[in-house]
Structure 1
């Protein structure tokens, strides 16, 4: 299993030290953890483009991240990272990545560069 898949397996299982576990249980938005998750999701999307079949655990993970992270962080008392533009861009990125994963292509016109968050 390559590094991106290992990272996603760690994240999607919400294992100790994962961005998702910290977010859900400790209400902490770990910027480095988010970057690791986002880059791994993007790498897997690139490799999965046009695939006819997707592993269930990956599909469940992408769905979970795209639906639950916005829900968990929507609470008015959730300590969102600053600036607000960064946080909004992160939530949008998760949605875009899930869309790309399930459709097999992203919605951006090529050549597209994914800005660092």
Structure 2
């Protein structure tokens, strides 16, 4: 859990080498490996904190930002979206699902639910 929180802190601060940094940095690219790290860390935090009554503001801001910014930024016509298009849409939906889970404390899928890797 500590590793996931540390990774999310770096991601949400858009530090160099993170998925969010690479989206809007000089390279403007969708890094699949970095996205997977981000998505898995977000999922881990959701799994571990789903019963918490109070959440740290930086986490809430980060989940909200990731779920909104990535869609907005990568929807620009000149952004080099990953192929195939369905992969891109699946990733955007996953970020929104994880933000929803984080804020509600539960996800909308019937258990047992397996979150497939993207």
TM-score range, shorter chain: over 0.9
Deviation string, structure 1 residues 89-113 (Cα, Å, up to 9, x no partner): 0000000000000000000000000
The runs of at least 4 consecutive aligned structure 1 residues that moved more than 4 Å come to none
Calculate the aligned-residue CA RMSD, in Å: 0.9
CA distance in 1, matches of 2:78, 2:71: 14
Partner of 1:31: 32
Partner of 1:56: 57
**TM-score under structure 1 length normalisation:** 0.98
Structure 1 segments unaligned to the other structure (5+ residues): none
Structure 2 segments unaligned to the other structure (5+ residues): none
Q: How many residues align?
A: 117
CA distance in 2, matches of 1:2, 1:75: 35
Partner of 2:5: 5
**TM-score under structure 2 length normalisation:** 0.97
Deviation string, structure 1 residues 12-71 (Cα, Å, up to 9, x no partner): 000011110110122100000000000000000001112110100000000100111100
